[in-house]
Amino acid sequence: MADRIGIIVNGATGRMTKNQHLINSLVPIRRDGGVKLSNGTHLIPDLLLVGRNADALEALADHLGIEKWSTDLDAALADQQYPIYFDGVTTKLRANNLLRAIKAGKHVYCEKPTAEKAADAFAVANAAKAAGIRHGVVQDKLWAPGMFKLGQLAKSGFFGKILSVRIDGCYWVFEGDLQRPQRPSWNYRAKDGGGMILDMMPHYHYMIEDIVAPVERLVCLGANHIETRWDEAGQPYRSDADDACYAILQLKGGIVAQVMSSWCIRVRRDDIINMAIDGTNGSAIAGLKNCWIQPRLATPKAQWSLDAAAPVDFYSDWQLLPETDPYVNAFRLEWELFLRAVVEGSPFPWNLDVAAGGVQLAELSEQSWHEGRWVDVPQKTM
């Protein structure tokens, strides 16, 4: 047996929506016969692609075997056959789009960040609460296999007392004059909602708070290292948004987290994002794909030695955690959980409230940078 559920997918031709939400998530869910519900039926998404460019939408819909597309968001929101609205457009447009969808009575699911400003992110979360709809936000890193295992280690008590956390994130983004840039140009223009802090702090917020502990205060230095880039049309532009951030966060329990995130750094580490946790009983380091551990009694003796070239291979003493489940794309896993939450009422804690905390962390990081000081993070009152 199969049930169907309509989903409006706005920003369909964008990089993330097309690749992660359509090609890696919703299209394979449809191809595989839908999401299996607890009563044994399958839930098949009916998709309505929305965007600005009719030709691009039609071509994408044809390519993916999707029947419906539209350039009229209001008409889509008025269509009762589509109870879910997904927003994957540029960050600047998100809060307003979400408010429109909530007003139209839709359940909403969206990319991060949920707004440019914390006040708007909290307003959207409150509107969703008042409307009684289900809401969710992409927190894909939590289901990336390496980070998922890091979370399991924390839950299992592997670390003992957690002392510190290190996040090393991002990679060199081509400027656009010699190699084609791998990210859209709006990411590097402040007026268009770009910037490393707004883009990545919401990810680091849920990674740190979900896996380790709440953030209590922080100090952050942003930087705009590269001031000229070339856009999609090959034209130079002033890239005036922050393209790196260097932050220290104090977490509940005296844990210290360092976050280094840069689009101006060349990768020589295991993955695009690495998160390391050191605790009294053991340490672990995860990338998106893999996670390595070093328990207390397997810790090699490290000491200064300038006499031998490399007395210890510090990489070889780590144990790679095994794969125990077949790989499923992180975006798809979260979509499946959200669709179950909508039709079965199951809990979905990765929601607009939590995501507003991520936007707040970004805003406080910017404040810390501009004012050159530590800032406190308001704690949630339960």
Ligand X SMILES: NC(=O)c1ccc[n+]([C@@H]2O[C@H](COP(=O)([O-])OP(=O)(O)OC[C@H]3O[C@@H](n4cnc5c(N)ncnc54)[C@H](O)[C@@H]3O)[C@@H](O)[C@H]2O)c1
Q: Where on the chain is the footprint of ligand X (CB under 6 A)?
A: 11, 13-17, 51-52, 88-91, 93, 111-112, 138, 140, 184, 186, 199
Q: What's the closest the beta carbon of residue 178 comes to ligand X, in angstroms? A: 21
Is-contact 112 257, C-beta < 8 A?
A: no
Q: Which is nearer to ligand X, 24 or 152 (CB)?
A: 24
Q: What's the closest the beta carbon of residue 139 comes to ligand X, in angstroms? A: 8
Q: Which is nearer to ligand X, 44 or 123 (CB)?
A: 123
Q: What's the closest the beta carbon of residue 69 comes to ligand X, in angstroms? A: 12
d(CA 216, CA 374): 11
Q: Are strands 84-87 and 2-10 parallel, antiparallel or unpaired?
A: parallel
Cβ neighbours of residue 91 closer than 8 Å, sequence gap 6 or more = 113, 115, 116, 193, 198, 199
Q: What's the closest the beta carbon of residue 52 comes to ligand X, in angstroms? A: 5
Is-contact 66 49, C-beta < 8 A?
A: yes
Q: Which is nearer to ligand X, 64 or 219 (CB)?
A: 64
Two tokens, residue 264: 């101006």
Q: Which is nearer to ligand X, 43 or 361 (CB)?
A: 361
Q: In one letter, which amino acid is 136?
A: G
Bond prior to 113 in cis (omega within 30° of 0): yes
Q: Which is nearer to ligand X, 16 or 248 (CB)?
A: 16
Two tokens, residue 133: 């709809």
Closest chain position to ligand X (CB): 14
Q: In one letter, which amino acid is 39?
A: N
Q: What's the closest the beta carbon of residue 83 comes to ligand X, in angstroms? A: 22
Q: What's the closest the beta carbon of residue 377 comes to ligand X, in angstroms? A: 21
Provide φ and ψ at 211, rounded to 5°: -90, -35
Q: Which is nearer to ligand X, 21 or 250 (CB)?
A: 21
